[in-house]
Amino acid sequence: METPGVRVPGKPKPKNPGGPRGVSFAPLQGAPSALTTPNTLQGSRYRSAAKVGLLSFLGLWVFSQEGSAAEVLVDGIAAQVGSQIVLHSDVQELSRPVEERMRAAGLSDSEIQSMRGDALERLIESKLIESVVVRLELQATEEEIDAAIAGIAQDNGLTVEQLQTSVESHGLTLAEYRQKLKGEIERSKVLNTMVRSRIRVEPEEVRAAFEERFGDQEARSGEEVRLRHILVGAGGASQRSLETACSIASDAEKKIKGGELTFNETARRVTDMNPEAGGELGWLHVDDLAPWMSNALKTMKPGDVSGVIETSFGCNILELVELRDYQVVTYADAEAALTAEINRRKMDKEYLDWLETLRKQTYISRKGSYAEGKKSMARRGR
């Protein structure tokens, strides 16, 4: 049985398996998280340290809107999804910030067109979800949006009025912010209706996961670190060059160190590994770290964020959150978080399977260069 958890890139499979996802252009990866936060192994080892807050939404806006100067878009249909259409302007709006960075880095037109294709696939997925929302009448109500805003304000120690001021200071109107929350709530409803009811985690699975991950811990000593990790993959399923990956990672590093976004917010937007958990790796024994991680941590102290680290599989950024002496974990300590982790893994798989079925059942036609790009990716086995 494969234990759910975190795969440390660049190191043979340790006690914390799992794996980076081969994606590009940060599509909707796995089941949409909406207004929930996954129970990752962190904090007091298994206490979730993060709450979904204001900036998790604002961060997505900053990344998608950065550099979008007012300009006239050459419009047309990029794809038809059932009875809905995706316009060229939709693709341009989503891909423009990444394209500007890629052009500044001197990347080829073919790489840029591939990135645009990834952006289109993300928009197609959004249209598919929207169609289910309409068909099943899962639209978010004004009361649900109001409740979400009140909860986000409370989680951030703000009044609703202070939240509105903060939203506007990041360039969003309240109406735009409410619309984004509406989409998150509706995705969560789709997840609950179509996927979550199919998931069951057996006690035997949790016990097996605990034994595989922590079975030999009595013999261990030394230190362990709590890490966050951003991976912008290169090669393989991502189809990115290392240069493209490092350009994206470098921009993410600047945003983190410049205080524009937190590490978690940035990871949710750009990482190919654990996006739904904000890049959280949880606690890892120093002996389980890949060599490239160990080398980077030698000069870091808690709270530090590394520079961009190139590896054979992509470009990485680490945050050293905490450092402590190794602590033995009991089954009682780990049971709830392991159960949630296994549930999340199953839900991700079920969601992707369901989404693929939905794609096959829906008429999807990509137009022009996007159609040719899709054929090219199919020939490469993507």
> Per residue in 162-221, pLDDT tens?
888 888 887 778 898 899 899 889 988 998 898 888 899 999 999 999 998 888 776 667
Residue 300 predicted with pLDDT over 60: yes
Q: How far is CA 280 from CA 189, 198, 319, 327, in A?
A: 25, 26, 9, 19
Residue 226 predicted with pLDDT over 90: yes
Residue 51 predicted with pLDDT over 80: no
Among residues of the chain, what percentage have pLDDT more than 70? Answer: 76
- All domains of the chain in start order, with CATH: 56-199+345-379 (1.10.4030.10)
Residue 105 predicted with pLDDT over 60: yes
Residue 37 predicted with pLDDT over 60: no
Name the pLDDT band for 77 (thresholds 50, 70, 90). Answer: very high
**pLDDT at 140 (0 to 100):** 94
Contact partners, residue 106, CB within 8 Å, separation at least 6:
none
Question: Is the CB of residue 377 less than 8 Å from the CB of residue 117?
Answer: yes
Question: Is the CB of residue 31 less than 8 Å from the CB of residue 275?
Answer: no
pTM of the model: 0.56
Rounded mean pLDDT of 69-82? 70
User: Which residue from 285, 132, 131 is spatially nearest to 221, judged by alpha carbons?
Assistant: 285
Question: Is the CB of residue 347 less than 8 Å from the CB of residue 191?
Answer: yes
- What whole-number distance in Å separates Cα of residue 353 and Cα of residue 288? 32
**pLDDT at 58 (0 to 100):** 40
Question: Is the CB of residue 24 less than 8 Å from the CB of residue 235?
Answer: no
